[in-house]
Structure 1
Amino acid sequence: MVRYSGEHKQETRQRIIETAGRRLKRDGIDGSGVSTLMKDAGLTNGAFYAHFTSKDDLVATAIADQLQALNANVVAQAEPGLAGLHQIVRWYLSAEHRDNPGDGCPNAALLDEIGRCTDTTRQAYTDGVLLVIDGIAARIAPDDPPAARVKALSLLAMLAGTLQLSRALTDRQLSDDLLEQGIHNAFTLLGNEQHS
């Protein structure tokens, strides 16, 4: 039997988490079995339990990882203040994000299923979403981010709902129009109707 280093095991675990995150966002939690998730990572089913206690454990971990990635790659990279909010909104409600759920935010892709998940998964989601909204709130109210937390959460809800609906529409032009209206609505919520 080959023994792997702790570093190799951690790299393998991270590969499983990342590939599972993409698959879950494409096919949903219920539509993604352990065998498919492990195949995506290039591993056998037997390797699963060396890294996770259950599918729920993997789902909670993958959702937390996806939200941390959203925060690091989108929210934290945005400029400070209103300019950064505009960047976040325009990225979130872009045709590219709509058309590539596997590479996007877990909110619009998984929110309906997360509400029916275990408390552990819902807590992992809550912790991850708080990280994201705190970054948004810091741009809404740089001097008092906690005061803007509910507004940031409302913005995220508006963005996720708009993106979900745009993905469900078969009429591409109607979907594009919805995304543009969503951008306008988000800027209105933020107290700035300019689209520049």
Structure 2
Amino acid sequence: MKVSKEQSAANRQALVEAASRLYRERGIAGVGLAEIAREAGFTHGGFYGRFASKEELAAEACDQAFEGALGKLSAQFERHGGDLTTLLRRYFGATHRDTPGAGCPMTSLAVDAAREGGQLGQSMSQGIDAYLRALAIHRPDGTVVDEPTPEDQARAIRTLTTMVGAVVLARACGQGAPGLSDQILRTSLEQLTTGA
């Protein structure tokens, strides 16, 4: 039975969604294609008619994760102008730390992208650039500029590196030193919301 173009696109999307979650949970090397196909409700063979390689799937999974992250950032700016407090409270929360499969692609896939390079590295670079641009053009006072100044860009980089670095470190010591993990998140939130 021939599958319609719409169904084929939906099947492909299901594979990308499963890969996006699983890769963020366990890393690129920690998940096989058979598991992704099974998670999406297909057999292993269903992968090969839809993607040229695992690398292509990983890049698309990264792109999809960034669409979600950028959508959340955009919604934050629409509701609260340049005030990131609500977003940062969720970002530095225990739920985000403890559920990487539903979280920020930068905190869970950046190291993989650096190791893998190729299409995944390109997707990660484009996603980081887009996130930084959004942070840079939306100033804390609520104004939006067409072109960020060097100061806007520096502020965006400081914000994003604090966000990503804090969650990566909090996850790294979450089981071995949960108190330290919580302290990293709490201190980073305070730093970005109060400047303390």
Do Structure 1 and Structure 2 share a fold, with TM-score over 0.5? Answer: yes
* TM superposition score normalised by structure 2: 0.88
Partner in structure 1 of residue 116 of structure 2: 117
Partner in structure 2 of residue 139 of structure 1: 138
Contact preservation (8 Å) 1:56, 1:118 = no
Are positions 1:162 and 2:166 aligned together? yes
Partner in structure 1 of residue 153 of structure 2: 149
Partner in structure 2 of residue 174 of structure 1: 180
Change (3 A) 1:53 1:156: same
Change (3 A) 1:158 1:30: same
User: Deviation of residue 110 (structure 1)?
Assistant: 1.5
Separation of aligned partners in 2, 1:150 and 1:19: 35
Give per-residue Cα distances to partners, 1:19-60, cap 9 Å, x unaligned.
Answer: 110000111011111111111111111111111000000001
Change (3 A) 1:159 1:145: farther
For structure 2, the residue ranges without an aligned partner over 5 or more in a row are none
Separation of aligned partners in 1, 2:86 and 2:101: 20
1:61-140 map, 5 Å = 61-72=60-71, 74-78=72-76, 79-83=79-83, 85-140=84-139
The one-letter amino acid paired with 2:179 is Q
Separation of aligned partners in 2, 1:151 and 1:51: 41
Aligned identity (percent) is 28
Instruction: Please identify, of 132-141 and 89-98, the stretch whose mean Cα deviation from structure 2 is larger.
Output: 132-141
* TM superposition score normalised by structure 1: 0.88
1:30-49 map, 5 Å = 30-49=29-48
Contact preservation (8 Å) 1:91, 1:97 = yes
Counterpart of 2:82 in 1: which secondary structure?
Answer: helix
Separation of aligned partners in 1, 2:8 and 2:183: 46
Q: How many residues align?
A: 187
Contact preservation (8 Å) 1:68, 1:131 = no
Contact preservation (8 Å) 2:97, 2:167 = yes
Counterpart of 1:115 in 2: which secondary structure?
Answer: helix
